């Protein structure tokens, strides 16, 4: 049984390892939320609130500006990649394991800042929330926006999704749809007496294969849309011509399109077919012209890239709060069995956020176990 306590005096990489070893697949975050709450509640400079498996810790110093720094506690399902493993390479230390990249390295940074910055130069709301990796109805930020919207109020928000320890602005929207083809059942020995719905889905797949991605430039950042089949389902029995086939498609759309515009596009793209939109979430415009966002970007080096995946930045954007992604790890390794995060990324994010919040850097020795 792994230790399910957190040592906030440990360095940020060791703290990441502790978080990783507390399994927290979506909807199973109780143990990690308990550990986070237990670690933060004794700190006198924070007001800690828990809703479900979401923990919110706030300073209340009367500063002129309030910022949110947020990260999700859940992971995708295990894939023989727990507990964590540390590796020394010629390029530096790597931390392997489920959630190292997405996004317990970022969560560790949040916890270290929350524990050690008693008097930041801005008031800070730290949010560690549940159920980001699954359907939106379970999302801890969504639930918080309904139950306690005042806890999300801020001038600016940073979501610590993996971004190679650099700023990624905005995010693309995501839409999931089902394209259904219909036929007529028949015995496969007399297939000409029926109509094969799976065969009819070939044209759906052909349209997808011929799709050319739109690549709009917004605030100087080029986004790259996507339209991909992610599931194909159909069939009745091994000797029956199927009368129905469903192709599930995921559309990632740039933030200059609304959800309604994206839905209209896919319906036009699959004209002639039965199309049902089953899930949708809006994108978020970069918003880099907002003073708080511009000041943060400048403080961490001035380089900005577009965010291609969907993140909860969109939830803050919908609330009128400018937000960016800024977290350790390469998002290309999120959800992979060999998921890892460079220790240097975690340290860099912690140090840059410390500096931005008016606190001195702390040393980190890569040779420690």
Q: Is residue 294 part of a domain?
A: yes
Give this prediction's pTM.
0.83
Query: Same domain for 42 and 142?
Result: yes
Distance of CA 167 to the CA centre of its chain: 14
- Of the residues 11, 93, 130, 132, only one is catalytic, namely 132
Q: 148 catalytic, yes or no?
A: no
Query: Same domain for 63 and 150?
Result: yes
CA distance 232 to 100: 31
Query: Same domain for 34 and 76?
Result: yes
CATH of the domain at 238: 3.30.70.360
Query: Same domain for 231 and 317?
Result: no
- Domain's final residue, options 281, 297, 312: 281
Query: Same domain for 319 and 183?
Result: no
Query: Same domain for 45 and 85?
Result: yes
- Domain's final residue, options 281, 313, 343: 281
Q: Is residue 249 part of a domain?
A: yes
Q: Is residue 6 part of a domain?
A: no
CA-nearest of 329, 282, 287, 333 to 306 is 287
Q: Is residue 306 part of a domain?
A: yes
Q: Is residue 366 part of a domain?
A: no
Half-sphere exposure of residue 4, counting CA atoms within 13 Å on the CB side? 13
Query: Same domain for 145 and 71?
Result: yes
Strand order in the sheet with 167-169: 47-51, 54-58, 123-129, 66-72, 156-159, 323-326, 167-169, 304-306
Query: How many independent structural domains does the chain possess?
Result: 2
Q: Domain span at residue 208? A: 173-281
Query: Same domain for 18 and 167?
Result: yes
CA distance 50 to 52: 6
CATH of the domain at 29: 3.40.630.10
Give me the tens of pLDDT residue by residue for the chain, a chain 369 residues long: 456 899 999 999 999 999 999 999 999 999 999 999 999 999 999 999 999 999 999 999 999 999 999 999 999 999 999 999 999 999 999 999 999 999 999 999 999 999 999 999 999 999 999 999 998 899 999 999 999 999 999 999 999 999 999 999 989 999 999 999 999 999 999 999 999 999 999 999 999 999 999 999 998 899 999 999 999 999 999 999 999 999 999 999 999 999 999 999 999 999 999 999 999 989 998 888 777 788 888 888 888 999 888 889 999 988 889 899 999 999 999 999 999 999 999 999 999 999 999 887 776 665 554
Q: Is residue 244 part of a domain?
A: yes
- Of the residues 11, 21, 37, 74, only one is catalytic, namely 74
Q: 298 catalytic, yes or no?
A: no
- Domain's final residue, options 251, 281, 311: 281
């Amino acid at each position: 049984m792994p230790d399910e306590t957190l040592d906030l005096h440990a360095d940020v990489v060791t703290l990441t390892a502790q978080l990783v070893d507390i399994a927290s697949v979506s909807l199973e975050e109780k143990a990690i939320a308990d550990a986070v709450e237990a670690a933060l509640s004794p700190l006198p400079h924070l007001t800690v609130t828990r809703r479900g498996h979401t923990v919110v810790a706030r300073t209340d110093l009367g500063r002129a500006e309030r910022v949110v720094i947020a990260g999700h506690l859940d992971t995708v399902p295990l894939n023989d990649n727990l507990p964590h493993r540390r590796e020394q390479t010629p390029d530096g230390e790597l931390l392997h394991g489920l959630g190292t990249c997405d996004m317990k390295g970022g969560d560790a940074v949040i916890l270290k800042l929350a524990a050690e910055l008693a008097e930041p130069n801005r008031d800070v709301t730290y949010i560690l929330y549940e159920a980001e990796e699954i359907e939106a109805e379970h999302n801890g930020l969504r639930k918080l926006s309904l139950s306690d919207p005042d806890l999300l109020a801020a001038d600016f928000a940073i979501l610590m999704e993996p971004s190679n320890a650099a700023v990624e602005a905005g995010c693309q929207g995501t839409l999931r749809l089902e394209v259904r083809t219909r036929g007529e059942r028949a015995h496969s020995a007399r297939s000409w007496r029926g109509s094969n719905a799976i065969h009819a889905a070939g044209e759906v797949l052909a349209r997808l294969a011929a799709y050319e991605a739109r690549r709009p430039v917004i605030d100087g950042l080029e986004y790259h849309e996507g339209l991909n089949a992610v599931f194909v389902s159909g069939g009745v029995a091994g000797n029956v011509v199927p009368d129905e086939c469903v192709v599930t498609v995921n559309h990632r759309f740039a933030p200059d399109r609304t959800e309604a515009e994206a839905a209209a596009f896919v319906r036009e793209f699959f004209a002639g077919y039965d199309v049902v939109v089953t899930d949708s979430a809006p994108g978020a415009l970069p918003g880099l012209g907002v003073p708080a966002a511009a000041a943060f970007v400048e403080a961490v080096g001035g380089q900005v890239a577009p965010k291609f995946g969907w993140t909860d930045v969109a939830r803050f954007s919908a609330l009128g709060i400018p937000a960016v992604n800024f977290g350790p790890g390469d998002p290309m390794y999120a959800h992979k069995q060999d998921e890892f995060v460079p220790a240097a990324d975690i340290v860099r994010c912690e140090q840059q956020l410390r500096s931005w919040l008016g606190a001195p850097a702390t040393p980190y020795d890569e040779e420690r176990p």
